[in-house]
Amino acid sequence: MFHTLENHEARNSDKRMFQSGESTEFTGMAIVELASDPNKIQCTGKILFTSFLAR
């Protein structure tokens, strides 16, 4: 049997974080744009933010 500790404050923090987050559709559109970019090799090895890809 597993026992877990409830941290209601952390759970509420997670909810607030995701309320103002991006939709899965927005992320999907950014991935499609990156995949279709002929210069995508320039993005190799980098951390990319969807807000950057949306430009």
In a domain, residue 41? The reply is yes
The predicted pLDDT at position 8 comes to 65
Question: 29 in a domain, yes or no?
Answer: yes
13 within a domain of the structure (yes/no): no
Q: Report yes or no: 54 and 30 within 8 Å, Cβ to Cβ.
A: yes
| 34 domain-assigned | yes
Give the model's pLDDT for residue 51: 80
pLDDT (tens place) for every residue of the chain, 55 residues total: 566 666 666 666 666 666 777 788 888 888 898 899 999 999 899 998 888 877 6
This prediction's pTM: 0.53
Kindly report each contact of residues 49-55 with a partner whose C-beta sits within 8 Å and lies 24 or more positions away, as own/partner: 50/22, 50/26, 54/26, 54/29, 54/30
The total number of structural domains that make up the chain? 1
Q: What domain range includes position 39?
A: 24-55
Residue 17 domain-assigned (yes or no): no
8 within domain boundaries: no
